[in-house]
Amino acid sequence: MKNYTKIKDIPNLSETIKDAILLKMNPFEFQNLGQHKTLVMLFFNSSLRTRLSTEKAAKNLGMEVTILNVNDAWNLEFEDGTIMNMDKSEHVKDAAQVISQYADIIAVRAFPSLTDKAKDESEFILNSFKKYATVPIVNMESATAHPLQALADAITLTELTEKAKPKVVLSWAPHPKALPQAVANSFVEMMQDLEVDLTITHPEGYELSEAITKDTPINHNQEEALKDADFVYVKNWSSYKDYGQNLNQDNNWMMTQEKLGKAKFMHCLPVRRNVVVEDAVLDSDQSVVIKQANNRTYAAQVVLKQILEDL
């Protein structure tokens, strides 16, 4: 693998999921692969799971890890040809080349503005690093995608499914803040590549990009969509059409034990209890959110392993 900025960068998804499950059983099997290699992780935004699981994954492979909270460094300019006489002290063109001398792999977390759709969709932060860095780039959640989370979700589903083709429902949930579409986008794309029967449910106005949903069924009736589900993935996202707007906080969309039925409950975390999902669900045996978070390590580890093997 040359980079992991999107799900389609995985050369063979089913083999990669199998390899991740094997790494989970024997995490130190490749502990010399990353010897004398460094992962530099750049955070433009907060993180708990991504930061800790990716660091753990790299260390399981014998890598050194350096973490930079970008807000502690010089303010970066991303536009070309700018006269930099305002608040930006360093151009990404220079920063990315410099960091590449300290890193064998660079991982980037950079959320969208949720105000400038075209700029967010251009993935200008992630793609600037991809353009100017001279080492592979890993996406730790960008403006439109969270492929490491989606790979962890695919591993979790593969481990837990008892059916050849389980019914999976992605259900929107209310949230007090406007959140990105990245997790939902990558989850949908990942499920489209697996043997699952996927349905999306959300209030009107919350349609994800058609470039993502393609022909996946969308049902605005949550109760109907959830019928006979094996896995229910709950996530809030802001409107894509009315870009970045929080149009609806109807708590009738919160996931409850009654609505969940016998399905397993999935969420990427962090989650607001009793807003997105009630305590009774999260604290039940049907919740697999802690397993998903554990699988973030093996998703990152299999990706780093495949990149290291191609260096």
Shorter beta-carbon distance to ligand CP: residue 22 or 48? 48
Could you say whether residue 141 binds ligand CP (CB under 6 A)?
yes
Shorter beta-carbon distance to ligand CP: residue 247 or 269? 269
Binding site, annotated residues for carbamoyl phosphate: 47-50, 74, 109, 146-149, 268-269, 296
**Of these, 160, 269, 275, 280, which contacts ligand CP (CB under 6 A)?**
269
The CA-CA-CA angle for residues 99, 104, 108, to 5°, reads 60
3 state SS for the chain: CCCECCHHHCCCHHHHHHHHHHHHHCCCCCCCCCCCCEEEEEECCCCCHHHHHHHHHHHHCCCEEEEEEHHHCCCEECCCCCCCCCCCCEEHHHHHHHHHHHCCEEEEECCCCCCCHHHHHCCHHHHHHHHHCCCCEEECCCCCCCHHHHHHHHHHHHHHCCCCCCEEEEEECCCCCCCCCHHHHHHHHHHHCCCCEEEEECCCCCCCCHHHHCCCCEECCHHHHHCCCCEEEEECCCCCCCCCCCCCCCHHHCECHHHHCCCEEECCCCCCECCCECHHHHCCCCECHHHHHHHHHHHHHHHHHHHHHCC
Locate 49 and state its tokens.
């799971």
Shorter beta-carbon distance to ligand CP: residue 205 or 270? 270
Nearest distance from residue 110's CB to ligand CP, in Å? 12
How many Cα neighbours within 13 Å face the side chain of 12? 7
Q: Round to whole Å and give the CA distance between 36 and 63.
A: 7
Shorter beta-carbon distance to ligand CP: residue 49 or 167? 49
Nearest distance from residue 270's CB to ligand CP, in Å? 6
Could you say whether residue 290 binds ligand CP (CB under 6 A)?
no
Q: How many residues interact with ligand CP (rule CB under 6 A)?
A: 9
Shorter beta-carbon distance to ligand CP: residue 111 or 132? 111
**Of these, 3, 60, 100, 149, which contacts ligand CP (CB under 6 A)?**
149
Could you say whether residue 306 binds ligand CP (CB under 6 A)?
no
Could you say whether residue 69 binds ligand CP (CB under 6 A)?
no
Nearest distance from residue 146's CB to ligand CP, in Å? 6
Q: Round to whole Å and give the CA distance between 148 and 21.
A: 15
Nearest distance from residue 295's CB to ligand CP, in Å? 11
Could you say whether residue 297 binds ligand CP (CB under 6 A)?
no
Could you say whether residue 48 binds ligand CP (CB under 6 A)?
yes
Shorter beta-carbon distance to ligand CP: residue 187 or 225? 187
Could you say whether residue 50 binds ligand CP (CB under 6 A)?
yes
Could you say whether residue 153 binds ligand CP (CB under 6 A)?
no
Residues 239-268 that bind ligand CP (CB under 6 A): 268
Binding site, annotated residues for N(2)-succinyl-L-ornithine: 141, 175, 235, 272
Q: Which stretch binds ligand CP (CB under 6 A): 41-49, 84-92, 98-106, 192-200?
A: 41-49
Binding site, annotated residues: 47-50, 74, 109, 141, 146-149, 175, 235, 268-269, 272, 296
Terminal CA-CA length for the chain: 9
Give the binding site for ligand CP (CB under 6 A).
47-50, 141, 149, 268-270
